[in-house]
Amino acid sequence: MKWGFLALVVACVLDACTSSYPYLISTNNCNCEQFIYKDDRGRFQLDVSARYTVTDRINSSIEIVFHNLSRDSMSLRQAYIKGTSSNVRYQFNDRFQPLPYVLILPRGKNTVILEGSDTQGMGNPWLKIAGERVVIEIRGLLLGGKIIPPIVLTLVPYNPKISS
C-alpha cells in the first residue's frame, strides 16, 4: 500500500515539473488556445493549436490539421512553413521548411506536427517566455492546382508566472 502511494506522489511531482502550457493564437481578433482558420470561400480550413514546456530549455509543439472541404485535391507538395520567434532560438527559426509531400483528397484531412527546442539554454528559460511571440507563415498550398495565398498566424504563449 505504501509503495503504491509513493509511486502516485512521484508521478504527480514529475508531472508538475514538466507541465505543458498553451500558446494563444492571437489572429483575426481571437486570443484562443485552438484556432480555426477558414478561407473566404469555404474550400479548406486549418485547425491550429500549440503547446510548450519549460524545463532547462523551452520545447514547443504546433499541431496543424489541414481539412480539405472542396471537391478538388489539396496538395502540400510545394508548401513551405516558416516560424519566426522573437525570443527563442529554434533550429529552423525564420527559415522556410518544406511541409510533408502529401495529397489530401476531397473531404479529407491531414495532421502536421511541428516540434522545436531552444538551441540556447539559459539560467532561467521563463525569461524568454516573457514577451515571446511566434509568427507562423504557410506558403505554397495548392487547391485544385491553384496556389492559396499565404496564411499568417501569430502565437503568444500563455505565461502562468504572470497570470492572475
Retrieve residue 114's grid coordinates: 511541428
CA of 84: how far to CAs of 88, 105, 113, in Å? 9, 30, 16
Residue 52: what pLDDT? 94
Residues 147 and 140: their CA atoms lie apart, in Å, by 6
Residue 104 within a domain: yes
Give pLDDT tens digits for 35-57: 999 998 899 999 999 999 998 88
Residue 146 within a domain: yes
Residue 162 within a domain: no
Residues 85 and 60: their CA atoms lie apart, in Å, by 11
Residue 118: which H helix or E strand, with range? none
Which CATH number does the domain housing residue 117 bear?
2.60.40.10
pLDDT under 70 in the chain at which residues?
Answer: 1-18, 122, 163-164
Retrieve residue 142's grid coordinates: 495548392
Residue 163: what pLDDT? 59
| H runs (alpha helix) in the chain | 2-17, 126-129
| Cα-to-chain-centroid distance, residue 35 | 10
pTM score: 0.83
Residues 83 and 136: their CA atoms lie apart, in Å, by 5
Give pLDDT tens digits for 102-114: 999 999 999 999 9
The number of domains in the chain is: 1
Residue 12 within a domain: no
Residue 7 within a domain: no
Residue 112 within a domain: yes
If you ran DSSP here, which 8-state letter would residue 164 be given?
-
Provide the domain limits for residue 77.
20-157
Residue 61 within a domain: yes
